[in-house]
Structure 1
Amino acid sequence: MEHSLGTPPAAGPPAPPLDYAQFAALVSRSFVPLRVQPEQPDAFRGDIRTASSDEVHLSVVTADAHEIRRTPELVARKEARFFKLGLQLSGSGLLIQDGREAVVRPGDLAIYDTNTPYSLMFEERFTTAVLMVPHRLIELPTEAVRGMTATTLSGDEGLAHMVSGFLGGLAGQLDQLDGPVGARLARNAVDLVTTMYAQQLDVARDADKPHRPMLRRAQAYIDEHLGSPELNPTTIAAAHFISTRHLHAVFHEEGLTVSSWIRARRLDRCRRELVDPLSAHRPVAQIAARWGFRDAAHFSRAFRAEFGEAPTGVRARAIAA
């Protein structure tokens, strides 16, 4: 965890606030490269506390008035692609991305994408919690989520209330994300955010895409039967009393294939177990078989292709953390 102000060690005085240069450098280290322009550089003071687990980062930012810009030049550097979900805790700001503008007030949630330019402007001292998640962990079509950037969700009602409560609580106990249950907390946060935006997208799109309820039912069935060796397009279609051709068409409408969806879901479940301390006693091959991979060599190749490293490497890194 990185500290500037924020949660200090149990003993000793809290760390001093950061000046403009220190804060600007820490912003780019904690998130992605960004341009920071304070209203009063000489008097500026800020603070960032960050914790991370399983590629998910949660930061709490407290700072004086300033503007942050993710410029086209910075986007062109091609760093890893992230969605950032901000929960405004105090003060207010303005988020601009993809031709949309959103005023964020305390309790509001707003998502933005590091893969396209954006600006954040704060005209007063503020505090915000920022959850940063790789694109591939948000199990929704990337372009669909980008259609929700720079729009706010009020944390006073519905799923947004649950998400804001969970993130707000986690922001107050960042050490939990760095601790032994950090991977589970990180995945819980991502699952809640994904569910919240899935609901928003369903409301917006179901009216003109009647195939989507069937798609959701098929995907839910896949999740319930991931460990079954009998899981394939034929059995999925039969369970829903449709032809395999129709099943493939339903997935194709969302730019998906049935087999790639099954494989991705199985790999994701395997990765979750590999980084879970409570599963450290299970051999890698046993975890793979549990989620439908009967051939260890095939599983290892598929896992490396999906995540860029071997299953044993992911487990070793999680244990070391």
Structure 2
Amino acid sequence: MSMIEVHHLPPGTRAGRARAWEELYATQVERATVTLGESETGPTLSSGTLGPIRLVRIEMDSGLLQRTAEEIGHVAEPAYSFLLQIAGQASFSHYGQDCVLGPGDMSLCNNAVPYSYTAHGPVELLLIRAGIGTIREHLPSPEQFCGRHLRAAEGLAEHAVGLSQSVFFQLAADLPEAVHNRVARNLLDALATAFAIGFDDLISSSAVLTGRHARVRLFIEENLRNPDLSPGFIATRLKVSSRYLRMIFAAGNETASAYVLRRRLEECARQMADPACAHLTITDIAFGWGFNSAPHFARSFRERFGEAPRVYRREKLAALATGGGALSAGATESV
């Protein structure tokens, strides 16, 4: 008997299918906001448990999976997921990193930190999920790898993706339960080794500083909406000196304050381009991400994206709209 459950969305309206997909994703993976493409079919989600890990295969047309701070507030159990792009192309944003995943590419995701996965046309994605404790047995300091792009051609990435697919199909074909734990350990070892080889320079540069940098980034992501977030606030809360904080960020040629500003602007831009947030003013969005001055936000946004927030938003929503680029009723552009 197969140990993989296959879930198909029932027919219905686009809005109804989106709600059903959101509920299914919440039940089988975690709570998130989803947006479906124009297709009237799919997506399909198949999942199964293998010892301490869970395998989730997603087939979907163009669409968005986005986990925000609101959904994270409902996290039942912190977990990490290896994202294996099997087919198609998608953009993945996480931990301040942005990458475009192609067939055979990989990344790592922490469900306690916001992320977004945007499918550019039909895709197939395989998630290998495990609790924090299990992941750290195979990949110490996993935070440093979150959101990073491991390409298929790098190191053992292609081998690890191929092994993961093979394990999934064997589980679907009734893999003997007596070997589940052993197979799970071997699979996690292969995935962890692929990341260790692919990011050898990251690990060897300084394990202590790199691990600390990852923990600081995690703290920033968790507190990005807090208007009090500053280098002094970060240093105090994490009990490190301001000098040490500067040293941690020096390797990336970006100060802590510059990192905070960049991440806030990126999240504002992402939300401004989301039709689901069209009822919010630009000021609402900016202040919701920790800005406390509209002129400062507008100036910083223009410096980063090359145009005023209202122009950026209008262009993005117009590109997404079907039959026109007007903002939905009630949306105003105050910045």
Bucket of the pairwise TM-score, normalised by the shorter protein: 0.5 to 0.7
> Which residue of the partner structure matches residue 79 of structure 2?
82
Change (3 A) 1:177 1:20: farther
Q: Distance in 2 between matches of 1:142 and 1:171?
A: 21
CA displacement at 1:37 relative to structure 2 = 1.2
Q: Distance in 2 between matches of 1:91 and 1:146?
A: 26
SS at match of 2:156: helix
Q: Distance in 1 between matches of 2:144 and 2:53?
A: 22
CA deviation string 1:250-281 (max 9, x = no partner): xxxxxxxxxxxxxxxxxxxxxxxxxxxxxxxx
Residue 193 of structure 2 is aligned to residue 195 of structure 1: yes
> Which residue of the partner structure matches residue 7 of structure 2?
4
Change (3 A) 1:144 1:21: same
Residue 56 of structure 2 is aligned to residue 59 of structure 1: yes
The one-letter amino acid paired with 1:97 is H
Q: Distance in 2 between matches of 1:38 and 1:50?
A: 20
CA displacement at 1:143 relative to structure 2 = 8.4
Change (3 A) 1:179 1:118: same
Which structure 2 residues correspond to residues 49-198 of structure 1 after superposition, within 5 A?
49-139=46-136, 144-175=141-172, 179-180=176-177, 181-198=179-196
> Which residue of the partner structure matches residue 23 of structure 1?
21
Change (3 A) 1:56 1:178: farther
Q: Distance in 2 between matches of 1:87 and 1:17?
A: 28
The number of aligned residues is 202
Match for residue 33 of structure 2 among 24, 32, 35: 35
CA deviation string 1:175-226 (max 9, x = no partner): 257641222222211122222333345432324459x9xxxxxxxxxxxxxx
Change (3 A) 1:177 1:160: farther
Kept after mapping to 2: 8 A contact 1:52/1:177: no
Identity value in percent: 19
CA displacement at 1:173 relative to structure 2 = 3.0
The one-letter amino acid paired with 1:197 is F
Kept after mapping to 1: 8 A contact 2:104/2:157: no
Q: Distance in 2 between matches of 1:173 and 1:206?
A: 36
Change (3 A) 1:86 1:127: same
Q: Distance in 2 between matches of 1:173 and 1:17?
A: 30
> Which residue of the partner structure matches residue 332 of structure 2?
none
Change (3 A) 1:118 1:154: same
CA displacement at 1:39 relative to structure 2 = 2.7
Change (3 A) 1:103 1:112: same
Change (3 A) 1:57 1:4: same
CA displacement at 1:81 relative to structure 2 = 1.1
What is the alpha-carbon root mean square deviation over aligned residues? 3.0
Q: Distance in 2 between matches of 1:166 and 1:141?
A: 16
Change (3 A) 1:142 1:155: closer
Q: Distance in 1 between matches of 2:183 and 2:125?
A: 19
Query: Which 5+ residue runs of structure 2 have no aligned equivalent?
Result: 211-335
> Which residue of the partner structure matches residue 204 of structure 2?
206
Q: Distance in 2 between matches of 1:32 and 1:177?
A: 26
Kept after mapping to 2: 8 A contact 1:36/1:66: yes
Kept after mapping to 2: 8 A contact 1:93/1:103: yes
Change (3 A) 1:113 1:209: closer
